[in-house]
Amino acid sequence: MPYLIPLRKAVHAMYVCVCEAVTEHDVHACIAAGAKSARQIRDITGAGRDCATCVRKICAILKRSEELVAIA
């Protein structure tokens, strides 16, 4: 039986965390909901709980979102 990816994941399949199958869209949703740190995003999504390879990428997304808020 083939592995089926949920439709939402298939449409936005830019994975930030491969271990926990967390997408960039998921991280942005956390930030929009008020997450301010990689730890908060980990607590919500699980990203960074395993190998932690994704933590730098999550921090970069957080920084970019802070910069966008500062510009606006």
When asked if residue 18 is in the footprint of ligand FES (CB under 6 A), the reply is yes
Pure H helices in 1-72 = 7-11, 24-32, 38-45, 55-71
Among 51, 60, 63, 64, contact with ligand FES (rule: CB under 6 A): 51
Instruction: Take residue 52 and report the two structure tokens written for it.
Output: 């932690």
Among 35, 41, 54, 61, contact with ligand FES (rule: CB under 6 A): 54
Nearer to ligand FES, 37 or 53 (CB): 53
Which residue's structure tokens are 């802070």?
66
**Which positions touch ligand FES (CB under 6 A)?**
17-20, 47-54
